[in-house]
Amino acid sequence: MILQIGPESSILVRAAAATILVLHISGGAVGLVSGTVALIARKGGRLHRIAGHAFFVSMLTMSAIGAAVSPFLDKTLDPLVGLFTFYLVATAWATVRRKPQTIGRFEIAAFLLAAGIVASNAVFGVQAATSTSGEIGGYPPAAYAFLGSLVTLAAALDLRMILRGGVSGASRIARHLWRMCLALSIAAASFFLGQQQLFPAALRGSPLLFLPEIAVLGLLFFWLVRVRFARGFRTRATASGDRALRS
């Protein structure tokens, strides 16, 4: 994200733009590091909880700024990605903070937000498909279709959870894991693939920049398998989630 400020802008405007940019970049950097630590740390341990808190705050900061600023940069997909990332982190956090098998107004509001993202994404996707250039906001219909499929899945799972009155046990931990990991994967893609100008010329366009995203998704699969099939881990993970309610 680059904020273009004209030379005639006041010092206050320049300072505000610089602050926003620093917060966005710092939030993304801290989110990448803390998210990685949370993934590899022992689940329920002190390091995992500290990294999780840092990830939560930094990712909300980064995604909120991205979603708010992107429309001013003539982007259409980017604010939707920012909102989706914000939604993923917030709902993942709420999953372990909420008592098992209970829901509240937050879960309903989160579902409505996801549904709104799906609707907005569909509108932009149709506009991109029918435009003379074959894209809108710099993105083709396929980009909107990919994001739309992810958000639709998340919204459908939200609706199922609401109708069931909440989640508990392994399903509760799995919901927390996949949403946090997907948010981390989006942050990694935004940095390693979306900011390639920051890397040496030899790495730009290299398949190596896909490795961080693949690693996150691989760890997600590993932890989901453990949660679903390792009985001892399920017991410890559930207890860890309950401790999060008191921390």
Distance CA 55, CA 143 (A): 26
Torsion of CA 204, 210, 213, 217, to 10 degrees: 180
Tokens of 35: 């998210």
CB 59 within 8 A of CB 147: no
String of b and e for 220-230 (b: at least 16 CB within 10 Å)? beebbebbeee
pTM for the model stands at 0.84
Q: How far apart are CA 179 and CA 45, in angstroms?
A: 20
- Per-residue pLDDT of 207-234, as tens digits, reads 888 898 999 988 888 888 887 776 555 5
State pLDDT tens for residues 152-194. 999 999 999 999 999 988 889 899 999 999 999 999 988 888 7
Are 176 and 241 contacting, i.e. CB atoms less than 8 angstroms apart?
Answer: yes
| Side chain identity, residue 200 | P
pLDDT exceeds 70 at position 244: no
> Which residues lie closer than 8 Å to 33 by C-beta, 6 or more apart?
none
